[in-house]
Structure 1
Amino acid sequence: MRKLVYYIASTLDGFIAGPDGSDPTGPDGFWPIPEDYLKHLIAEYPETLPAPARAALGVTAQGTRFDTILEGRRSYQIGLDAGVTDAYPHLRHLVFSRTLGESPDPAVEIVATDPVARVRELKREDGKDIWLVGGGELAASLYAEIDRLILKLSPTTIGSGIPLFGRDAAFEPAAWTLTDHTVLGSGAAYLTYERAALGG
């Protein structure tokens, strides 16, 4: 059975976006993108680059980790605001929204039903792992379904913003086992955790 992987960039103080939820790596973003961070991303996670970035960087590798991406309505809106209806045409793309209605792109599936039920269906299908890109609200609703966390940790603090699991996540302690890590010269780190039994 394939896994649901929350692969997300986070500040040291646990935020994935600023208070307004805008793209932290965009033109007005606060997120530094050092050269070694980008090189590691291209080498290890090429499929997680959006199509415009792949084109600009000359990245053609399909990648080996994910074939499906899940995102919430607010995360998807960032692309729509930039005129991009499908930032990941090289992946199966699902957007979870009860308000969006018809999909702005024929290749993007809008899911208005229970996210947990849909993810359980996806896990039973054949294929590579499923990438949960965010945002925090969707991650909170899928909290119990997340099998692996991959944090792209930036040596940055912002004090306030959108937390890793959104502002309204329930208190539900979970244990995670560190299974891989790469610390870069710039101070950024890629940390991989697998869900573990609580207390072990």
Structure 2
Amino acid sequence: MRSLTYYVATTLDGFIAGPEGGDPTGPDGFFTVSPDYLDHIVAHFPETLPGGARQALGVTAPGTRFDTVLEGRRSYQVGLDAGVTDAYPHLRHYVFSRTLTTSPDPAVELVAGDPVAKVRELKALDGGGIWLVGGAELAGALYEEIDELILKISPVAIGTGIPLFAAKTGTDPRRFTLTDHTVLPGGVAFAAYRRA
């Protein structure tokens, strides 16, 4: 069975974006994209680079882990605002939205129904891993389906913003076991956790 991995950049205090959302790696962002960070992603997670970045960096590696990417409506909007209708043309791309009725790109499949049901359907199919790129509301909806967390922890705290998981009510502890970690010279830590 395929597994769902929430692979996402976060601050030390657990935020994936500022209070207004947007791209935290953009010009007004707080995540620094250093050469060692890019080198690590190219070496270990090449399929998670957007198509434009892959082209600019000359990355042609097919990918080592994921063949499917899931994202919420707000995360998808960041790309749309930049004029990109399919940031991951090398992956099967699903966008979960109750407001979009027509996909802006023929390769991007919209899902208006229950995210949990869709993920369970995808897990039952043959293929590679499923990558949850964001956002927080979708991660909250899929909380019980997440098999692995890979956190790119940036050495910055922002005080407030969009948390790793949003729209969850009540406490529902889930145990994870650290399976791998790498601390880059620039200070970003990649930490992988498997659901216990």
Q: TM-score, normalised by structure 1?
A: 0.96
Instruction: Map residues 130-145 of structure 1 onto 2, 5 A cutoff.
Output: 130-145=130-145
Q: Paired residue for 1:102?
A: 102
Aligned partner of residue 32 in structure 1, secondary structure: coil
- Cα separation, 1, equivalents of 2:25 and 2:145: 27
1:186 Cα deviation (Å)? Answer: 1.3
- Cα separation, 2, equivalents of 1:34 and 1:11: 15
Equivalent AA in structure 1 for residue 168 of structure 2: A
- More moved, 29-38 vs 4-13: 29-38
Could you list the per-position Cα deviations for residues 48-94 of structure 1 after superposition, in whole angstroms to 9, with x for gaps in the alignment? Answer: 00011111111111111000000000000000111110000000000
Aligned partner of residue 62 in structure 1, secondary structure: coil
Aligned partner of residue 153 in structure 2, secondary structure: strand
User: In the alignment, is residue 63 of structure 1 matched against residue 63 of structure 2?
Assistant: yes
1:27 Cα deviation (Å)? Answer: 2.1
Q: Tell me the percent identity.
A: 71
Q: Paired residue for 2:121?
A: 121
Aligned partner of residue 20 in structure 2, secondary structure: coil
Q: Paired residue for 2:10?
A: 10
Q: Paired residue for 1:20?
A: 20
Equivalent AA in structure 2 for residue 135 of structure 1: G
Could you list the per-position Cα deviations for residues 133-155 of structure 1 after superposition, in whole angstroms to 9, with x for gaps in the alignment? Answer: 00000000000000000000101
Equivalent AA in structure 2 for residue 78 of structure 1: V
Aligned partner of residue 6 in structure 1, secondary structure: strand
Q: Paired residue for 2:49?
A: 49
Instruction: List runs of 5+ in structure 2 lacking aligned partners.
Output: none
- Cα separation, 2, equivalents of 1:36 and 1:64: 19
- More moved, 21-30 vs 10-19: 21-30
Instruction: List runs of 5+ in structure 1 lacking aligned partners.
Output: none
- Cα separation, 2, equivalents of 1:169 and 1:186: 33
Q: Paired residue for 1:191?
A: 191
- Cα separation, 2, equivalents of 1:193 and 1:10: 14
Q: Please identify runs of 4+ aligned residues in structure 1 that moved more than 3 A.
A: none
Equivalent AA in structure 2 for residue 102 of structure 1: T
Could you list the per-position Cα deviations for residues 154-187 of structure 1 after superposition, in whole angstroms to 9, with x for gaps in the alignment? Answer: 0111111000002x32221111000011111111
Equivalent AA in structure 1 for residue 96 of structure 2: F
1:32 Cα deviation (Å)? Answer: 0.8
Q: Paired residue for 1:169?
A: 168
How many residues of Structure 1 are paired with residues of Structure 2 in the alignment? 195
User: In the alignment, is residue 36 of structure 1 matched against residue 36 of structure 2?
Assistant: yes
> Aligned Cα RMSD in Å?
0.7
Q: Paired residue for 1:87?
A: 87
- Cα separation, 1, equivalents of 2:7 and 2:31: 16
Could you list the per-position Cα deviations for residues 107-153 of structure 1 after superposition, in whole angstroms to 9, with x for gaps in the alignment? Answer: 00000010000000000000000000000000000000000000001
